[in-house]
Structure 1
Amino acid sequence: MTTLSTYLQIANNQSKWQAITAKSPDVATQTKYFKDNIGKVTTVDAFMKDARLFNYAMTAFGLGSMTYAKGLMHKVLDGGVSSSSALANTLNSSNIKAFAQAFDFADNGDATTTSSTLVDTVVSRYTEQALETSQGKQNPGVQLALYFQQHAPSLTSVYGILADSNILTVVQTALGISSSTSSQSVDTQYRLLSSKVKLDDFKDPTKLQQFIARFAAQYDYNNGGDANSQSSLLSTLFDTSSSSSSFGLDTSLLLSVQGTKFGYF
């Protein structure tokens, strides 16, 4: 299966795939521990001393690779999110900010972890991360597409693209921008992306899916995908009887991604 077909199969049945992932032994075990113990935590210190709770929460917010940075994250949680000068608001990381907003001990104190909304949010995000990871073992392109679907709509600045390696990879791939541009200055990269990307498009469900389709086709092309299979798949997607047609893939998109390298719209 192509990256696009696999992505659409999951995206069109997100709740089903998340339910399957939630029942997998490892995810179910870690989630049970989190649910059983998070309510017992009343301080930042206690939260971070329980490695299973802390790692679960960090993973849920896409920060699994930063679990070693306990000093930094302690400062993030201590500072809260109320002040514009709070560390969480100055690091230019939407994931860190979301983490600090969820675990806002600074404003909510020992009531922070007793919220059912918090538990539901963290568990849902952890399950989504687990789903992305499991798909990534089979096809990294699918993992990137799912990640982009979840996080791109919340971008508020092009700097947010540069701060997230997964989102940057999707954007560079979709637009045919060489990854070597990442070695250029941040200001140069910012000007380049600003001239090619409209963040509001990622908040539009149809345009978001069109961009992901463009990424998926280019990803497969870059990784030795068959142009004929791409053309056949996209033609199928254009068939209005197909459930995936709900993503609004139009004729211009189909013509633009039939197995050849391309620029942006």
Structure 2
Amino acid sequence: MTFQPVVPFSGYTGWRFLERTLEKQQTAFNESVPVKRATDYFRDTIGTIQTAEDLMKDRRLLTVALGAFGLDDDVNNTFFIRKVLEDGTISDDALANRLADQRYREFSRAFGFGGEELVRTGLATFAETIIDRFEARQFERAVGEQDNNLRIALNLSTALNDITTQNQSDNARWFAIMGSPPVRQIFEGALGLPSSIARIDLDQQLDTFKRRANATFGTDAVGDLQARDAQEKLIRLFLVRSQIETGTAFNGNSIALTLLRGG
């Protein structure tokens, strides 16, 4: 039987509940039969995979590999995924580097099948690294079946860490945020930006995101926004403003107090 996360509330109240119960809920989810069957097989088998073609031939392995990066819906797009992996990330014209969604670059880099890179599937720590990500992303996906805003909030810490690790300059980090749909959604919501901002020039978008971040957090340095208190404020603003837009959960006075007091 599949473990269903307990999410009794929506919005920021739901987030605070998830924070308090996350460790126990994640452990129960990891031990559920479907998840454990998938991770045990990955752990036992991934070391035998040396090429992207090998991975495409094993749907069970591919499901875990893609699921670890939130790319579950691409499990049938094997030609596309093989190209992403075989191109690697070293060359500027590699497919992963040309895609707006930064998750493909993270995925390709993690496996290292692109010719210039080290194939990582045989490394001692590789299986557990991917399994940890898979379990976290699949728990988030299960939460998302009840509240998608909570799903992307759960992913924020991992996503920001990937972005800061893989991009050295601050502008590059902001472009990566803008190119990651779930992270962008949180920042747009927290900074009070409309989704229509995506239609303006990229440099103008960058300037707008940085100015709003400075006004809201007192900094536009992405590294500073990785701090625990900054992430919590990002999530709180995102969730509470989402509730304002949908008119759910709180009345106007309690929403205002939540914004002012920090929950």
TM-score by length of 1: 0.77
Is the Cα contact below 8 Å between 2:157 and 2:226 reproduced in 1?
Answer: no
Amino acid at match of 2:149: G
Q: CA deviation at 1:68?
A: 3.9
Q: Distance in 1 between matches of 2:90 and 2:198?
A: 33
2:170 is matched with none
Q: How does 1:1-265 map to 2 (within 5 A)?
A: 1-83=9-91, 86-91=94-99, 93-105=101-113, 106=115, 107-109=117-119, 112-155=120-163, 156=167, 157-197=173-213, 198=220, 199-224=222-247, 225-227=249-251, 228-230=253-255, 234=258, 254-255=260-261
Moved more, 121-130 or 58-67: 58-67
Contact 2:12 2:240 in 1 (8 A): yes
Which residue type is aligned with residue 118 of structure 2? N
- Superposition deviation, residue 119 in structure 1: 0.8
Cα gap change, 1:54 to 1:42, in 2 (>3 Å): same
Which stretches in structure 1 are left out of the alignment for 5+ residues? 235-252, 259-265
The change in CA–CA distance for 1:14 and 1:202 in structure 2 (over 3 A counts) is farther
Contact 2:85-2:111 at 8 Å conserved across structures: yes
Look up the equivalent residue of 1:188 and give its one-letter code. Q
Give the TM-score normalised by the residue count of structure 2. Answer: 0.77
Identity rate of aligned residues, in percent? Answer: 25
Over 3 Å counting, the alpha-carbon distance change for 1:116 and 1:3 in structure 2 is farther
What are the superposed Cα offsets for residues 219-261 of structure 1, whole Å, 9 maximum, x if unpaired?
A: 22222231355467x4xxxxxxxxxxxxxxxxxx634x68xxx
Which amino acid counterpart does residue 226 of structure 1 have in structure 2? F
Q: Provide the aligned length of Structure 1 versus Structure 2.
A: 236
Offset of residue 142 of structure 1: 0.9
Q: Aligned equivalents of 2:88 and 2:180: distance in 1?
A: 22
Q: Distance in 2 between matches of 1:94 and 1:45?
A: 22
- What is the CA distance between 1:137 and its match in structure 2? 1.5
Please list every run of 5 or more consecutive structure 2 residues that lacks an aligned counterpart in the other structure: 1-8, 168-172, 214-219
Match of 1:108, SS state, is coil
Q: CA deviation at 1:22?
A: 0.7
In the TM superposition, residue 133 of structure 1 has moved relative to its aligned partner by 1.1
